[in-house]
Chains A and B, each alone.
Chain A
């Protein structure tokens, strides 16, 4: 009897893993298999045949390197801007929000009850050539008389920043909120100035939040196509736009699949470098604290 129980106990963790594993197998592993097969296929729609067509990858890179670099650049800038905006915001809510914390968090998320597309279309109105923003910037001569915001790189990056902001704010808030404030007090008791205690106590302890926020912002932003399509021009198109047109307009599924793999690979490499720079042991140590 005791043995049976023991055996059951051994099974339990795996049983608990089953739903998650099954989910990943069905919705991640299987599609990846088909995507990989398609990326190495050749032929014309609707008949593609598998044939180790590695040429799809070299073609994709040589043909669309501009859009790849642009995507990483836009996503990188948007992530940096989002971090710069979110950190003080999350810090303020976590340490100064008091009993209104939940309300402030709700306010951060509130605009996101509206669908993504509508929010992006709203930016078309906000940034329109005759809108308040452009007129004000023209009045203070930041923009020339015939300058515009819509259909520029700035508009696309602004759209990306705005659309992924909550993904930065929320993880930052969670990790800042968990910080034991007595540690900061202890730092000042030991004669650390505010900037020093921030840099040596608060910031390192919030790194897991920074890490999660950066990933959650950068990854979807790099693959986004809506912002570039609605707020940009052909000169701002990102790799997501290319994949969309390869898939839907040209119906060149192998190239679209190869492009998707390259994007995934590029993001993976960047994430690994990023984790390395921040130091994974510090990240996990932070979580443990």
Chain B
């Protein structure tokens, strides 16, 4: 037994060995619920969403060294819908997707949908001593009130990204974005329904967390008009970033963390929350059915140790969901700790809204929106 292996892990492995000898056929299901770490934990995440040091991920390497497991960290999620399209086949057939931990965005409506479909495993909370370090605001989302199935990885805000040199004034109004002739053909919105419809609803004085047919129609009409007039040029994923950087567009709906990254090379660019309010979304760690619950829970908990969360946050530029990570960063990297887009102030957070979970999975609305963005 090597030094770093805890008693619990050792006992767990011994028990698993016993189970294997006694009933090989039962190994996978039995061991998954017993407290044993698998040899390999597979974690699918979005690209550039974790700390990087010379092509390695220190936070993961430390975990692997401490628990003597291999973490297969893959960056293969680029888009919620595409990733879901990839895993829904096996999941609907009751097959494993070969992943223990995945990360998906609440505002895509998919985590909620997967809970309803019974495609997610519950956390093994007994194995998660740092669960309590989740920031208070994130503890009880409507779609998973006790965080039984989900745990935030990072959050981000959706607001206006723009080039102040081209626009010439502080662009904090969506109405201006939609009507200023100077911006004609130089504006893009996002292909994510929650982001685009949410921001426009806010600009209409409507509440995006309770979508009604009336508020929906008003937002739709407003966007339609701006598309017809040629004011809005395109709907994009994060490919608005190069367009904004090379001056093809002047302003767009943009994600806060992207803009922090973009500002590193283009310090003139700006992100702000519109005066009518910004949208907020959270990427959640989830265990797809068939994943190793104990292994995934221990790994998810690892990222809630404030010191580890701070290491990740120092590289990733989104909002940290872990209490105490900010404190650690105040010492190690005060610039990050002070960045309002990474550790937003209470007044900025008060301006943020979440999109209506039921509207997200409303087929009629989804169809409407896809037509609106051209398909």
A44 contacts B363, CB within 8 Å?
Answer: yes
A130 contacts B239, CB within 8 Å?
Answer: no
Indicate whether A150 reaches chain B with its CB closer than 8 angstroms.
yes
Indicate whether B374 reaches chain A with its CB closer than 8 angstroms.
yes
Indicate whether B233 reaches chain A with its CB closer than 8 angstroms.
yes
Indicate whether B203 reaches chain A with its CB closer than 8 angstroms.
no
For A125, give the chain B residue with the smallest CB separation. B246
B234 contacts A233, CB within 8 Å?
Answer: yes
Interchain nearest-CB distance for A212 vs B (Å): 32
B374 contacts A241, CB within 8 Å?
Answer: yes
Q: Mark B338-375, 1 if CB is under 8 A from A, else 0.
A: 00000000000000000000000001001100101111
Q: Mark A221-264, 1 if CB is under 8 A from B, else 0.
A: 00000000010111111000110111111111000000000000
Indicate whether B278 reaches chain A with its CB closer than 8 angstroms.
no
A130 contacts B247, CB within 8 Å?
Answer: yes
B242 contacts A250, CB within 8 Å?
Answer: no
- The distance in angstroms between the C-alpha atoms of A131 and B239, with both chains bound, is 17
- Which chain A positions have C-beta within 8 A of B363? 44, 250, 252
- The distance in angstroms between the C-alpha atoms of A234 and B82, with both chains bound, is 20
Indicate whether A146 reaches chain B with its CB closer than 8 angstroms.
yes
B117 contacts A250, CB within 8 Å?
Answer: no
- The distance in angstroms between the C-alpha atoms of A249 and B235, with both chains bound, is 14
A245 contacts B185, CB within 8 Å?
Answer: no
- The distance in angstroms between the C-alpha atoms of A246 and B375, with both chains bound, is 8
- Which chain A positions have C-beta within 8 A of B373? 234, 245
State which of A130, A234, A241 has its C-beta within 8 Å of the C-beta of B246: A130
B233 contacts A151, CB within 8 Å?
Answer: yes
How many positions in chain A have a CB within 8 Å of any CB in the partner chain? Answer: 32
Indicate whether B243 reaches chain A with its CB closer than 8 angstroms.
yes
- Which chain B positions have C-beta within 8 A of A233? 233-234, 374
State which of A124, A146, A247 has its C-beta within 8 Å of the C-beta of B242: A124
- The distance in angstroms between the C-alpha atoms of A254 and B136, with both chains bound, is 43
- Which chain A positions have C-beta within 8 A of B374? 233-237, 241
Indicate whether B258 reaches chain A with its CB closer than 8 angstroms.
no
A128/B81 contact (C-beta < 8 A), A237-B375, A250-B370 known = no
State which of A121, A128, A249 has its C-beta within 8 Å of the C-beta of B366: A249
State which of A44, A128, A244 has its C-beta within 8 Å of the C-beta of B375: A244
Indicate whether B4 reaches chain A with its CB closer than 8 angstroms.
no
Interchain nearest-CB distance for A274 vs B (Å): 28
B248 contacts A249, CB within 8 Å?
Answer: no
- Which chain A positions have C-beta within 8 A of B117? 46
- Which chain B positions have C-beta within 8 A of A44? 363
State which of B79, B248, B367 has its C-beta within 8 Å of the C-beta of A130: B248
State which of B81, B84, B375 has its C-beta within 8 Å of the C-beta of A241: B375
B370 contacts A150, CB within 8 Å?
Answer: no
- Which chain A positions have C-beta within 8 A of B242? 121, 124-125
Indicate whether B168 reaches chain A with its CB closer than 8 angstroms.
no
Interchain nearest-CB distance for A93 vs B (Å): 35
A146 contacts B185, CB within 8 Å?
Answer: yes
- Which chain B positions have C-beta within 8 A of A252? 363, 367
Indicate whether B172 reaches chain A with its CB closer than 8 angstroms.
no
Q: Mark B227-257, 1 if CB is under 8 A from A, else 0.
A: 1000001110001001100111000000000
A234/B234 contact (C-beta < 8 A), A46-B92, A248-B82, A248-B85 known = yes
From residue 178 to 236 of chain A, which have CB atoms closer than 8 A to chain B?
230, 232-236
- Which chain B positions have C-beta within 8 A of A128? 243, 246-248
Interchain nearest-CB distance for B111 vs A (Å): 15
From residue 73 to 96 of chain B, which have CB atoms closer than 8 A to chain A?
79, 81-82, 84-85, 88, 92
- Which chain A positions have C-beta within 8 A of B92? 46
From residue 89 to 128 of chain B, which have CB atoms closer than 8 A to chain A?
92, 117
- The distance in angstroms between the C-alpha atoms of A12 and B92, with both chains bound, is 43
- The distance in angstroms between the C-alpha atoms of A247 and B239, with both chains bound, is 21
| Listed A/B pairs (6) with beta-carbon separation below 8 Å | A46-B92, A235-B374, A236-B374, A241-B375, A244-B375, A250-B363
Q: Sort A-B residue pairs by CB-CB distance and give the 10 closest, nearest first.
A: A234-B374, A245-B375, A237-B374, A248-B81, A129-B248, A130-B247, A128-B248, A128-B246, A242-B375, A245-B370
- Contact residues of A with B, CB < 8 Å? 44, 46, 67, 121, 124-125, 128-131, 146, 148, 150-151, 230, 232-237, 241-242, 244-252
